[in-house]
Amino acid sequence: MNVNTVRNDNNDSSGMLRGLLLFYVPLGLYSMIMMTSHSVMNLGVSRAANAEIGLAAFSVAMNIMNMFASPCFTSRQLLVTFAHDKKSLAVTRSMMIKLGVFSLIMLALLALTPIGDFVFVKIFNTPANLLNDVRAAAVLTLSLPFIYTLRSYAQGILIVVKKTQYLTYTVVIRILFMIGLAFVLPQISVLTGAMIGIMIWTSGMALEAVINYLFSRGSYNELPEEPDYESGKQVLTTQQAFTFIWPLLVTSFIWTLGLPMINSGLGRTSNPELALATFQVSRNYVWIILGFIENNMRQVPLIFGTSEAKMKYLKKFNLGIGVILMAAVALLALTPVGNWGLLNIIGVSESIANASRPVLIVLIALPVILAYTEFYTGLLMKVNNTKALSIGKVINLSVTISSVIAMSVLMPQLGATAAAIGVIIGYVAELIFLYVIYEKYTTTE
């Protein structure tokens, strides 16, 4: 290899790294900033009368209604994977609208008919004293399908044309707007705490969706009219879109059951209250960092993985991001910085802060594991094998829950650490499965 070849390779790598960072860093920051929205909503609800009831009712209404609205935000992945030309985008848009209508019907049944009371009380065990507040808040979520569909459509286009910086700009505007609402809405006496929380949530996302859409309109013209037939690309069909999306819809619904089932396992530890509180705090603390990876790293092979040489470089990039974030979690787990943050920023008690330390230590390995899981998720999406992704999540959930229950019964003194170990084992099992499936695909092609 001569000097010029080496120099060209270095220039190519440098240029690709710059492109990756310009694409990925705004996307990761978007997710991390978005996570602060929960604190803003809680701030608004806590300023209303009967804050304790308001927070509980808001949590119930938000989690249940969001579960049934999930098809709308899952559809963004369909657009990112396939809609790289205007004809395929039209098919994707049609599918997204159908999913939005389906979600609207589901939410209307919950909010406006006796079916909602059955679901709230009989399935999710909502206390009777919260039911009126939950009902009133649920009605306000009927806007979710419109908001999620518009936001997913606009964000998908911006990701495809690699203008992810606009996602970061708009989420900052969204958070600032929500902070304003958190101070204004509690002054309106007719609003319950749960209604205030839902209004802050939906209004913030609606503003974000509209601004994203305005940004995406200019980017729409950058898409080619038709796919690149010479490279083997074809126009997306409705059947292909449905085959791709339905396993993701099932997965997103099943995945929402994971945390409640882990919590059920921790109920068997020697100090269930401390274990539950510690795991909740520790998990949320670490996920501030992991938000940089989750649902984002999968976009990298989808957008940039256009050749075998680029794919090798993307794997190195993936590892680099995972190692950097692992170092960040290690900083929280192994130095006084983590304890200080728990006590002074999160505001937990000293007993929970102390109990969180072993949990954080176990979770140090998670960023690299999650980075590779996300990467292989993107690779399997690229080859349209979303059924394997569903199976992988079921494996993850099953292994995690069985591990947590087994350790809670056999070693109840582990407390929240049992959940952390279970989470690691579950993600490793999912990663191994996804890796094997993808390698089988590449060897048969």
In whole angstroms, give the CA distance from residue 141 to residue 147: 10
pLDDT digits (tens, 9 = 90+) for 74-93: 888 999 988 888 898 999 99
Residue with tokens 């935000």: 73
Q: Does residue 290 sit in the same domain as residue 183?
A: no
pLDDT score for 231: 65
Give percent of the chain with pLDDT exceeding 90.
55
> In the predicted model, what is the mean pLDDT of residues 377-398?
93
Q: Does residue 212 sit in the same domain as residue 330?
A: no
Q: Does residue 189 sit in the same domain as residue 231?
A: yes
Q: Does residue 197 sit in the same domain as residue 263?
A: no
The answer as to whether 26 is a domain residue is: no
Number of domains in the chain: 2
Q: Does residue 79 sit in the same domain as residue 131?
A: yes
Alpha helical stretches, state H, 221-307 = 238-255, 258-266, 272-290, 299-304
pLDDT digits (tens, 9 = 90+) for 112-129: 999 999 988 888 778 888
pLDDT digits (tens, 9 = 90+) for 203-253: 999 999 999 999 999 888 888 888 776 666 788 888 989 999 998 888 887
The answer as to whether 12 is a domain residue is: no
pLDDT digits (tens, 9 = 90+) for 1-27: 454 444 444 556 677 889 999 999 999
- For 286, the token pair is 């670490």
The answer as to whether 380 is a domain residue is: yes
Q: Which amino acid is at 148?
A: Y
Domain extent, residue 300, equals: 257-445
The answer as to whether 14 is a domain residue is: no
In whole angstroms, give the CA distance from residue 251 to residue 258: 11
Of 322, 330, 256, nearest to 292 (Cα)? 322
pLDDT band, residue 152 (cuts 50/70/90): very high
Q: Does residue 326 sit in the same domain as residue 218?
A: no
Q: Does residue 156 sit in the same domain as residue 272?
A: no
Among 177, 202, 235, give the residue marking a domain's end.
Answer: 235
Q: Does residue 279 sit in the same domain as residue 143?
A: no
Of 238, 206, 218, 219, nearest to 96 (Cα)? 238
pTM: 0.85
Q: Does residue 128 sit in the same domain as residue 159?
A: yes
pLDDT band, residue 67 (cuts 50/70/90): confident
Residue with tokens 């969001």: 66
Q: Does residue 282 sit in the same domain as residue 231?
A: no
In whole angstroms, give the CA distance from residue 407 to residue 414: 8
CB atoms near residue 260 (< 10 Å): 10
Of 109, 206, 196, nearest to 154 (Cα)? 206
Least confident range from 104-108, 367-371, 440-444: namely 440-444
Q: Does residue 96 sit in the same domain as residue 214?
A: yes
Among 201, 235, 269, give the residue marking a domain's end.
Answer: 235
- For 329, the token pair is 């979690």
The answer as to whether 354 is a domain residue is: yes
The answer as to whether 10 is a domain residue is: no
pLDDT score for 400: 93
Least confident range from 169-178, 283-292, 362-371: namely 283-292
Among 202, 235, 268, give the residue marking a domain's end.
Answer: 235
Q: Does residue 297 sit in the same domain as residue 444?
A: yes
Between 156 and 2, residue with greater pLDDT: 156
The answer as to whether 245 is a domain residue is: no
For the chain, give the mean pLDDT.
89
pLDDT digits (tens, 9 = 90+) for 347-363: 778 888 899 999 999 99
The answer as to whether 5 is a domain residue is: no
